[in-house]
Structure 1
Amino acid sequence: MKIGELARQAGCPVETVRYYEREGLLQAALRDQTNNYRHYDSAHLERLMFIRRCRALDMTHEEIRVLLQARSQPDADCGTVNALINEHLNHVQARIRELNMLEKQLFELHSHCNANRATRDCGILRELEQAEEPEDIVPVITAGHLAGSHSY
Structure 2
Amino acid sequence: MSDLKIGALARRSGLSVEALRYYERRGLIPPPARLPSGYRVFPVETLDRLAFIKRSKELGFTLDEIRDLLELQAHPEADSAGVKQRVEARIDEIERKIEDLQRIQQALRGLSSLCSGQGSTANCPILAFLEQDEPADVPGSRES
The normalised TM-score by structure 2 is 0.89
For these two proteins, the number of residue pairs brought into alignment is 135
Deviates more, 1:88-97 or 1:53-62: 53-62
Q: What is the root-mean-square deviation in Å for CA atoms of aligned residues?
A: 1.2
Decide which of 60, 74, 77 is 1:75's aligned counterpart: 77
Identity of aligned residues (%): 37
Give SS of 1:40's match. strand
Structure 1 residues 72 and 44, CA gap change in structure 2 (3 angstroms): same
Instruction: Give the TM-score taking structure 1 as reference length.
Output: 0.84
Partner of 2:142: none
Counterpart of 1:111 in structure 2 is 113
Unpaired stretches in structure 2, ≥5 consecutive residues: 139-144
The question of 1:29 aligning with 2:28 is answered: no
SS in 2 for 1:111: helix
Per-residue CA deviations over 1:68-105 (Å, capped at 9, x if unaligned) read: 11111111110100111111110111101111111111
* Stretches (4+) displaced over 6 A: none
SS class of match (2:28): coil
Query: In 2, Cα distance between the equivalents of 1:103 and 1:68?
Result: 36
Whole-angstrom CA distance in 1 between matches of 2:6 and 2:137? 52
Matched letter for residue 9 of structure 1: R
SS of residue in 2 equivalent to 1:24: coil
